[in-house]
Amino acid sequence: MTRKLLFTLDTMRNINPTAGRASRAFARTCAHAYARTFAFAVATTVAGIFTTSALTAQVRMTVPPQDTPVVLRGATIHTVTKGTITNGTIVLERGKITAIGGPEVPVPRGAKIVDVKDKHIYPGLIDAYSTVGITEIGSVDVSNDISEIGDFNPNVRAEIAVNAESRHIGTTRSAGVLVAFSTPEGGVISGLSSAMSLEGWTWEEMSMKGAAALNVKWPDPNATGRGGRGGGGGGRGGPPAPAPKTYAEQVEQIKGWFAEARAYRDAVKSGQQVRTDARYAAMIPALDGAIPVVVAAEGAAQINDAITWGKAEKLKIVIRGGRDALFVADRLKAENVTVILTSTMAAPDRQYEGYDNAYATPAKLFAAGVKFAIAGGSGGLYSYRLPWEAGVAVAFGLPEEEALKAVTINAAESMGIADKVGSLEVGKEATLLITNGTPLDMTSDIIQSYIQGREINMMDIQKFFFQKYLEKIKQQAPKKITP
């Protein structure tokens, strides 16, 4: 990598001096960009060599795939879809659940038996909207890979940008979140969410479904135009900035992209010779109804228009955000549209809203018969709060069973992975939690987690620092003086 960067810098340095001003300016811009990247690479390498804590920066260790049957006995098993089993037994083999029931379930030969009496077993929680693995430190640009340039990027797949060494993975797992939908942002058609299992050495090993959902950001009909005072100029005598698109123009743009993708699909299916376009090809599963189209929409008008558009396009629509979903609850129920609520712990942002507007929305949607999932804020730093986002909803009227569904089976069904995770059933992946209480309560502890049958390492960076500075306190404690 270093040789490549140095070669590129040398090439920029020796650019033809007779080239135009624009070419030289472009070269300088590229050179500066490469210089910044090179400086970061060198700084990171030096830090890795000379910092004493470099070897413990990751702190958790990835474990190999399951090779020995595991039997968990004596716990209360919360299957989510098939009731609760007291004094239950669950058998994990080759990464799958092969048996579940009471004490009578037979034990496979050579199995490791784990006594979990008085404990609880739940499915691993699922974050339906996350950037875990594709963002690390907000102030360090090179550690964030969540958006691409331009408005039309349907071929962007989040999975290939996932950093398996991210510190946020450990802290997220410690809260019980074992599956996350890493989601690209930016533009209008942002790309494809990827279902990621939060255990593995590489993104290939972690990926459960690379193209899980296509993401569309619906325009806001009530948004004010940019560039006040006449729209603003281009700066330093440049041409005036183009006028912002109207709401109708933005909607037509989205319709146009989908029409072009549909024409591309039909041409390919009919055997016509067409130039390969990765962008349109990436949209074919959504056009065929194989994956959902997740539409980011907050206001009632946005949600209504998005549903109307999705119905006309014959798409499988999921609404993400849903701040005003209550105002269109009847239609959401009638059209069988799932909502992914992106924050239940948000403060009200409009004067007429009560303090509990966001807290109580899940309970009201449930009463209205609307199917929904609960997601944490998209920032990788906050995915660990997912269980408490659901817990707040319980405190404000949502039945606990429904809150649990909102972060397990509902999320799995809405995003097309319910055949793998989301509940504890024979044939599904052995991705589960062992706890001393409900994972939706802050006072409960996640004692141990299994991902695809692997007994994962429960260490994370926060636990590491706790142990480190606890040791500091012990070492600095006043010593007793013996007379």
Q: What angle do CA 469, 471, 474 make, to 5 degrees?
A: 115
Measured CA to CA, the distance from residue 418 to residue 413 in angstroms comes to: 5
Question: Which residue did the predictor score with more confidence, 82 or 16?
Answer: 82
Percent of the chain whose pLDDT exceeds 90: 74
Cα 341 to Cα 373: distance, rounded to the nearest angstrom? 6
The tens digit of pLDDT for each residue in 107-164 reads: 999 999 999 999 999 999 999 999 999 998 888 888 888 888 999 999 999 999 999 9
Cα separation, 293 vs 257, in Å, equals: 14
Cβ burial, residue 382 (10 Å; 0-12/13-18/19+): buried
Task: Give the per-residue pLDDT at 261.
Answer: 97
End-to-end CA distance of the chain: 64
For residues 14-26, average pLDDT = 40
From the CB of residue 436, how many other CB atoms can be counted at a distance below 10 Å? 12
- Has domain 57-124+423-477 been given CATH number 3.20.20.70? no
* Domain spanning 126-133+149-222+245-421, CATH class: alpha beta
Full-model pTM: 0.84
> Is the per-residue pLDDT at 54 higher than 80?
no
Cα–Cα distance measured from residue 476 to residue 98, given in angstroms and rounded to the nearest whole number: 51
Whole-number Å distance between alpha carbons of 264 and 430: 40
List, for residues 248-260, the tens digit of each pLDDT value.
Answer: 999 999 999 999 9
Q: Decide: 435 and 77 in contact? Cβ < 8 Å.
A: no
Element (H, E) at 443: none
User: What's the Cα-to-Cα distance from 292 to each of 155, 158, 213, 319, 342, rounded to whole Å?
Assistant: 15, 16, 5, 10, 17
How sure is the predictor about 483, in pLDDT bands with cuts at 50, 70 and 90? confident
**Which has the closest alpha carbon to 438: 73, 84, 74, 81?**
84
For residue 23, the model assigns a pLDDT of: 42
Q: 415-473: per-residue pLDDT in tens?
A: 999 999 999 999 999 999 999 999 999 999 999 999 999 999 999 999 999 999 999 99
* pLDDT value at residue 292: 97
Looking at residue 380, what is its pLDDT? 67
The mean-pLDDT minimum among 44-53, 327-336, 394-403, 419-428 falls in: 44-53
Share of the chain above pLDDT 70, in %: 84
Least confident of 209-213, 221-225, 444-448: 221-225
* Per-domain residue ranges of the chain: 2-51, 57-124+423-477, 126-133+149-222+245-421
Cβ burial 48-83 (10 Å sphere, 16+ → b, else e): eeeeeeeeeebbbebeeebeebbbbbbbbbbbbeee
- Structure confidence by residue, pLDDT tens digits, 341-384: 998 998 888 899 999 999 999 999 999 999 999 997 766 677 89
Burial zone of 112 (CB within 10 Å; 0-12 exposed, 13-18 middle, 19+ buried): middle
Question: What's the average model confidence in pLDDT over 158-187?
Answer: 94
Q: Residue 420 has what pLDDT?
A: 98
Q: And the tokens for 139?
A: 């102030």
Q: Per-residue DSSP letters for 140-184?
A: -GGGB--B-SSSB-TT-BGGGG--TT-HHHHHHHHTTEEEEEE--
How confident is the model over 206-225, as a mean pLDDT?
92
Mapping DSSP to helix (H, G, I), strand (E, B) and coil, where does residue 188 land?
coil
Phi, psi dihedral angles at 63 (to 5 degrees)? -105, 155
Count of residues making up the chain: 483
pLDDT of res. 441: 95
pLDDT mean over 387-397: 96
Pick 83 or 38 by higher pLDDT: 83
Contact 328, 303 (CB under 8 A): yes
In this structure, is the dihedral angle defined by the CA atoms of residues 297, 301, 307 and 310, taken in order, positive or negative?
A: negative
Q: Return the ∠ at Cα 353 (arms to 348 and 359), rounded to 5°.
A: 55
- The sign of the CA dihedral 353, 359, 365, 367 is negative
Rounded to an integer, what distance in angstroms lies between the CA atom of residue 420 and that of residue 182? 17
Task: Kindly state the DSSP code that residue 429 receives in the 8-state scheme.
Answer: B
The better pLDDT of the pair 464, 236 is held by: 464
Q: Considering the chain, what is the average pLDDT of its residues? A: 86
CA distance 70 to 454: 10
Helix axes 300-313, 247-269, angle to 10 degrees: 20
